[in-house]
Amino acid sequence: MAKKLESTLINMILSLVLISMTMSAALAFIYLKTKGPIEIAARQKEIEAIKQVVPDFDSDPLANRMERNGVVVYQLNKQNSTAGFALKSYTDKGFGGHIEIMAGFLPNGTINKVVVLSHKETPGLGTKMTNPDFSNQFPGKNPMDFILKVKKDGGQVDAITAATVSSRAYCDALQRAFDTFQSISDSISVKQ
């Protein structure tokens, strides 16, 4: 019969260290195996969002990618002319915290379309920012003369009933995208 190990502090510590090292190695292995497919899926999701917010384009979305102040900018072309810009923007002012959007702008600064990429807003309330009833008030508007604030705050945006915080956050992310668009539009060449 095998001799039973004595239950001492040293034996317990060694057992915990051995178990921790084994589990760490297993987690590292799983992480390395899944990292690539997760990155590919995230990149594909971003490309699909770009296709939703910018008019038809024939350039590689990742070819003209730049980042400014946490906002990712994609310049998209069709037949060597600028078709539009997609900006992946964010805000941390949502009721549930962080919200990410993809905003499409035409070369003149007009909003083409906006989609929500991620959020943690309240189901049935803040989540309504993804509904066309709310999001359809932005396409065709140029933030140069359309104030991206809810009406309660002196803007022109109809807030979601019972979800003013989420509406404000959406406007904040969209304003951040437009401010970034303005800051880069002078420094890049827009061929029309």
Query: Mind listing the pLDDT tens digit for each residue in 134-165?
Result: 999 999 999 999 999 999 999 999 999 999 99
Within-domain flag for 156: yes
Give the integer Cα–Cα distance in Å for 60 and 54.
13
pLDDT at 187: 67
pLDDT of 1 strictly over 80 = no
Average pLDDT over the chain, rounded to an integer: 91
Residue 43 placed within a domain: no
Tell me which amino acid residue 129 is.
M
Mean pLDDT across the stretch 5-14? Answer: 84
**Does position 77 have pLDDT exceeding 80, yes or no?**
yes
- Residue 17 falls within a domain, yes or no? no
**Cβ partners under 8 Å of residue 111, min gap 6:** 103, 104, 105, 138, 139, 140, 141, 142, 143, 174, 178
Alpha-carbon span 164 to 77, nearest angstrom:
36
Identify the domain containing residue 94 by its residue range: 52-185
Rounded to the nearest angstrom, the gap between the alpha carbon of residue 41 and the centroid of all alpha carbons in its chain is 14
How many domains does the chain divide into?
1
Whether 101 maps to a domain, the answer reads yes
Percent share of the chain, pLDDT over 70 = 94
Is pTM beyond 0.85? Reply is: no
User: Does 46 reside within a domain?
Assistant: no
In a domain, 162, yes or no: yes
